[in-house]
Structure 1
Amino acid sequence: ECLSGLVIAQLVQPGAPVIYGGSPTTFDMRYATPRLGAIETIITDCAYAQIGKYYGLPTHAYLGISDSKLVDAQTGIEASLGLVLGALAGINVISGPGMLYNENCQSLEKLVLDDLICGMAKRLLRGVEVSDQTIAFEAIRKVGSKGHFLALKHTNEWFRKEQFIPSAVIDRQELKPWLDSGAKDVNQRAREAVDRILRDHRPQPLIPEAEKALDDVTREILSSKGVGKMPLGP
């Protein structure tokens, strides 16, 4: 289906940019339901992406989806597997963050959590850098066997580059501070993050030149299709 669609697109407009991908799924024989969070679906996504790469195309998949109906441990298992394995497979565009129940609904709390999984996956892809700076022989010699590295300039310069530091939605406190702050679980912390983002975030608007350029291109396309004016514009 992907390859036939690609051929049709090129027949209509040679050189048209395309992204290779889709949303295949396996079938749960017990319940006659699609399984978007199943490991077999994830394997299929990672495998078909390699075909797209063989043809030199950017690739897309729906990964990070959970079959769960709410944000729970199942959600974390399925989303983490999908996003991390999709990243390792080199898939370029992943559309699943925030999705629950076989793509049937979207959760803002899950979107916040999936953003953190994506950050961890990106850190995984960076791997381990081996260089004079990262091996830090000079720092090791300076500290010796009885000192510590916390006060070194080298540590201060490098720890933020080496570590993925998540938001407070991920709990890494000691027990007492966690208890003192209300002993909140990850769903409560994600809900608070959603409330804070909706309350405080101000999207950066497009610069006027970019907005005008987009409008001009849209009008040109609509005009070529016989549409006289932009549906939602002046």
Structure 2
Amino acid sequence: MRPELRYLSNKDLEYVHNLALELLEDMGIELCAEEARDYFRQAGATVEGEIVKIPRKIIEDALKTVPKRDAFTLYGRDPKNDVKVNEALPSLAAMTMATSVIDPHTREKRPATDQDLTDLTKLLEIMDNVSIASGLITPQDVPLESSDWYTWAGTIKNTTKHITGGAVGKEGVRDAVEMAQLALGGDIAFEDRPFISFWVLTSPPMKLDENPLNVLMEASRLNAPSVISSGGILGISSPITIESAIIHTHAETLAGIALTQLVRPGVSVLYSSYVRSMDMQTMSVSMSSPETAIMKSIMAELGRYLDLPTKMPTNLRDAKLLDAQAGFETGMVGTVGALTTDFLVSMQLDIDLVVDYADLPYSNECISQLRRLVRGLDFSDKRIALDNIRKTGHGGSYLNAKHTAKNFRKELWTGDLTERGNWKSWQKDGGKDMLEKCAERAVELLEQVKDVTLLDAAVCDKIDAIADSAFEKAKAIKR
């Protein structure tokens, strides 16, 4: 049985859920797209201008048709990368949209490029604890208006894992899905194996803007899963108290879920939230404060309460470098995430703005430890092995026992980068700290994957052509 962390009791979860339903029913939510309002109006909601007051029955009906955890599969382009969340331990999901990288060779911070996107995605492809290989960076050397298109092209060409990304309007969704269909080779319909999903961000408090609504509706029509997320900031766009902030955050997510099921009953949704705190001294948002960690856990608990797959930003660090602060933040917030959510959004520094190549092998090893931590126990006869205890006897040693030889590799976590030797052996190996080892490993891995291609050149050219032709289209779309 997998261990859990709980901030809220079942009674608390029910109370928060009902308060969120109450908010949607009496206060309503602002929906800035007429088509979205029409879907709710036809379902029986009251529409007053752009405010939609949603009866609880609409939410309850949506929660009956949205796929639950035991029916949910996160598809990869390659079936070997499919994940069933009811069976899986937590895994990493690459965050998106950083604008800078720490160069793997010079170790200097610089703007992210389209080549970085290719290289980082190739690394994500070979990381064994990564399930969602999203575009960690948005390239800064392509036209800004169509940068999302280039991000989709770069990721789809270079990974066979699931990808989550942003899109601009219905056109952006359609083009990303067309790229995905090209990668599938036409042999498999995208609707049967939707291996990409779309971020849909609310505009707290209690509002969804036109662009995310259009993305949500078009993605649902095409059977692409949506990752619905509210990113309020305590004291700014969310109430200052955690207890209050989680209520409207949950309400916004419920409204998004309901819209997906009005558009296409049965389309998949991942429950997510970016509600976070702000340092009132520096006025900087924090992705790794204690308050943020608490809220990530609570929101994951609410997602589990709905029996939905959950995806939370639990490995994003405020630290600027892969240093002691980053290590502590990874340990604190990562442990909370491993105990509460299915996919830990990760591998960015400086409040989501910077990607260090060294962070990929580092985060992959960290989640490996966390997966061991939450694996749970099994008190079966085979595991207890009383005959082994009796055979060894009083004061004996288990070092030479067959039970030890048979089980120690599975039972004891062994790291690839973590230092566990004595001081003398560490010095003999070069006396390198974790950052040095991870930076070197990243360069080694880049060399291994530099010539790897996953799609035929002709297919890549067609995918690139979609991105190249998107500039004028993107300029015309209302953001």
Structure with greater strand percent: 2
Q: Distance between the aligned counterparts of 1:230 and 1:13, measured in 2?
A: 30
Aligned match of 2:345 in 95, 100, 111? 95
- The within-5 A match list for 1:164-179 is 164-167=413-416, 169-179=417-427
Most deviating of 78-87 and 138-147: 138-147
Q: Say which SS state the counterpart of residue 95 (structure 1) adopts.
A: strand
Q: Distance between the aligned counterparts of 2:378 and 2:363, measured in 1?
A: 26
- The alpha-carbon distance between structure 1 residues 17 and 204, as it changes in their structure 2 partners (threshold 3 A), is farther
Output the aligned Cα RMSD: 2.6
Q: 1:200: Cα distance to partner?
A: 2.4
Q: For structure 1, which runs of at least 5 residues remain unmatched after alignment?
A: 209-214, 220-228
Aligned pair count reads 212
Q: 1:204: Cα distance to partner?
A: 8.5
Aligned match of 1:193 in 438, 441, 448? 441
Tell me what 1:126 maps to.
375
Q: Residue type of the partner of 1:114? A: S
- The within-5 A match list for 1:125-164 is 125-164=374-413
Q: Say which SS state the counterpart of residue 30 (structure 1) adopts.
A: coil
Q: Distance between the aligned counterparts of 2:383 and 2:353, measured in 1?
A: 45
Q: Residue type of the partner of 1:93? A: F
Q: Distance between the aligned counterparts of 1:144 and 1:205, measured in 2?
A: 57
Q: Say which SS state the counterpart of residue 316 (structure 2) adopts.
A: coil
The sequence identity of aligned pairs, in percent, is 30
- The alpha-carbon distance between structure 1 residues 136 and 207, as it changes in their structure 2 partners (threshold 3 A), is farther
- The within-5 A match list for 1:109-120 is 109-120=358-369
Deviations, residues 123-168 of structure 1 (Å, cap 9, x unaligned): 111123323333232223333345422222211111111111111x
Q: 1:94: Cα distance to partner?
A: 1.7
Aligned match of 1:104 in 353, 364, 374? 353
Q: 1:184 and 2:432 equivalent?
A: yes
Q: Distance between the aligned counterparts of 1:68 and 1:4, measured in 2?
A: 34
Q: Distance between the aligned counterparts of 1:114 and 1:133, measured in 2?
A: 33
Deviations, residues 40-90 of structure 1 (Å, cap 9, x unaligned): 10111111122222222211111111101111000011111112111211x
Q: Distance between the aligned counterparts of 1:230 and 1:20, measured in 2?
A: 33
Q: Say which SS state the counterpart of residue 311 (structure 2) adopts.
A: strand
Tell me what 1:15 maps to.
266
Tell me what 1:29 maps to.
280
Q: 1:202: Cα distance to partner?
A: 8.0
| Structure with greater contact order relative to length (CA < 8 Å, sep ≥ 6) | 2
Q: Say which SS state the counterpart of residue 278 (structure 2) adopts.
A: strand
Q: 1:103: Cα distance to partner?
A: 0.7
Q: Distance between the aligned counterparts of 2:404 and 2:389, measured in 1?
A: 11
Q: 1:171: Cα distance to partner?
A: 0.3
TM score, norm. by length of structure 1? 0.81
- The alpha-carbon distance between structure 1 residues 56 and 185, as it changes in their structure 2 partners (threshold 3 A), is same
Q: Residue type of the partner of 1:72? A: D
Q: Say which SS state the counterpart of residue 285 (structure 2) adopts.
A: strand
Q: 1:27: Cα distance to partner?
A: 1.1
Deviations, residues 20-52 of structure 1 (Å, cap 9, x unaligned): 113111111111110101111011111112222
Q: For structure 2, which runs of at least 5 residues remain unmatched after alignment?
A: 1-251, 469-479
Deviations, residues 66-124 of structure 1 (Å, cap 9, x unaligned): 101111000011111112111211x122212x110111111222222221221111111
TM score, norm. by length of structure 2? 0.41
Q: Distance between the aligned counterparts of 1:154 and 1:45, measured in 2?
A: 40
Q: 1:231 and 2:466 equivalent?
A: yes
Tell me what 1:40 maps to.
291
Most deviating of 69-78 and 7-16: 7-16
Tell me what 1:211 maps to.
none
Q: Distance between the aligned counterparts of 1:35 and 1:194, measured in 2?
A: 27
Q: 1:7: Cα distance to partner?
A: 1.9
- The within-5 A match list for 1:49-60 is 49-60=300-311
Most deviating of 145-154 and 196-205: 196-205
Q: Distance between the aligned counterparts of 2:320 and 2:366, measured in 1?
A: 19
Q: Distance between the aligned counterparts of 1:56 and 1:132, measured in 2?
A: 32
Q: Distance between the aligned counterparts of 2:302 and 2:367, measured in 1?
A: 23
Structure 1 segments of 4 or more deviating over 4 A? Answer: 201-208
**Does the 8 Å CA contact 2:360/2:442 hold for their aligned counterparts?**
no
Q: Residue type of the partner of 1:95? A: V
Tell me what 1:212 maps to.
none
Q: Distance between the aligned counterparts of 1:52 and 1:110, measured in 2?
A: 28
Q: Say which SS state the counterpart of residue 231 (structure 1) adopts.
A: helix
**Does the 8 Å CA contact 1:64/1:81 hold for their aligned counterparts?**
no
